[in-house]
Amino acid sequence: MVNATEPPYISALPKVELHVHLETSLRLRRLLQRCDPDLPLCGQPHNVADPSLFTGYDRLRRLRYAERANRLPDAAYTRANIAAITAELIAEASDQSVRHVEVRAGGQRAFSILGVRGMLDAMAEGAGEARRLGLSYGTVVTVIRERGPEEAGRIIAEAVAASGCAVVGVDLAGDEENYPAGLFSAPIARARDAGLGITVHAGEFAGPAGVWAAVYQLGATRIGHGIRAVEDPVLLDRLRERGVALEICPTSNVRLGLVSTMSAHPVGKFLNQGVPVTINSDDPVLLGTTLTGELASVARAHCLGPEILANLQVTAARAAFLPAAGRKSLEQAVVSQTCRGERR
């Protein structure tokens, strides 16, 4: 019998990742330091409070600030470098048997230096690595709540116009408690009307109301994290009935103090209720994780067998921001490759 918690099984499992951020500044720093380990990075360290003293969004912001303590020079934000770190992320995905990956881009500094279209062009160039490695790929453009609906509208307009850049969706992220989803109805509607998929970070740092709003006010078909949905049984029924997939990022939720341990994570409850669930790595460089590691951790903590782990990938394939034919093809490929792996 195959042991689903053993890394070899999970490593070989064909996977789909829907929620992974490019982590532009972290990957650029790593790229520059590989090229020249003695390269001095300009700027002085920021005074950052100990992230462990905070929880939720406050902890996330301080973790990110701490990792960016030495500011990268503007000159690091080149098209070639962005293409290189995109290709690197895709290569890492391929090494984990990922068959489809959707990468989120929304860094204010990169958009400011390169322009939204310039950033998307650079990522599209790097995404050529996906074709070489046999993956399908899409970019999800993230807009941040704290920067307001006007900036969101501008970024989304440029994303909609960026034909040929493999933009497949828009993500609303940031401070969900103080910047409710309804503020962004108009810009998100523009993305939706243009045929882009809609995903919203909700039910992560605030309660179930944000998930309701994401689905009914913004038309989200996927929810980033969504773990607080577990508090509302009626909401769970709606998510199941509408096929709204949760992009669960277990290590992120534990590291940010949103759940106490992996065993206490509500992912098992979601699965038992029939809510569509996908597993993702979120910020793998920041959190020191991988998609394979996320699946292994969840499998151990919640006693998930091979069939359930395989079904998680099918769910992710069905939730991908691809045309219907592309989703079906991806689902068939995941099922076929899983079956071949089980016969070995």
Phi, psi torsion values for 241, nearest 5 degrees: -65, -40
- With vertex at residue 38, the alpha carbon angle to CA 42 and CA 126, rounded to the nearest 5 degrees, is 75
Q: What is the largest distance, in Å, between two alpha-carbon atoms of the chain?
A: 56
Is 102 catalytic? The answer is no
Q: Is residue 105 within 8 Å of residue 78, measured between CB atoms? A: no
**Rounded to an integer, what distance in angstroms lies between the CA atom of residue 309 and that of residue 49?**
38
Q: At what angle do helices 209-216 and 233-242 cross, to 10 degrees?
A: 30
Q: Which of 179, 146, 170 has the alpha carbon at shortest distance from 221?
A: 170
Lateral strand order in the sheet of 197-202: 15-21, 98-105, 136-144, 167-173, 197-202, 222-225, 245-248, 277-279
At residue 141, the 3 state secondary structure works out as strand
- In order of 104, 164, 174, 277, the CA distances from 137 in angstroms are 11, 12, 24, 20
Q: Which of 23, 102, 129, 204 is catalytic?
A: 204
Strand partners, 170: 141, 198
Residues 6+ apart with CB under 8 A from 50: 62
Alpha helices in 258-290 (DSSP H): 267-272, 284-287
**Rounded to an integer, what distance in angstroms lies between the CA atom of residue 24 and that of residue 145?**
19
| Active site residues per annotation | 204
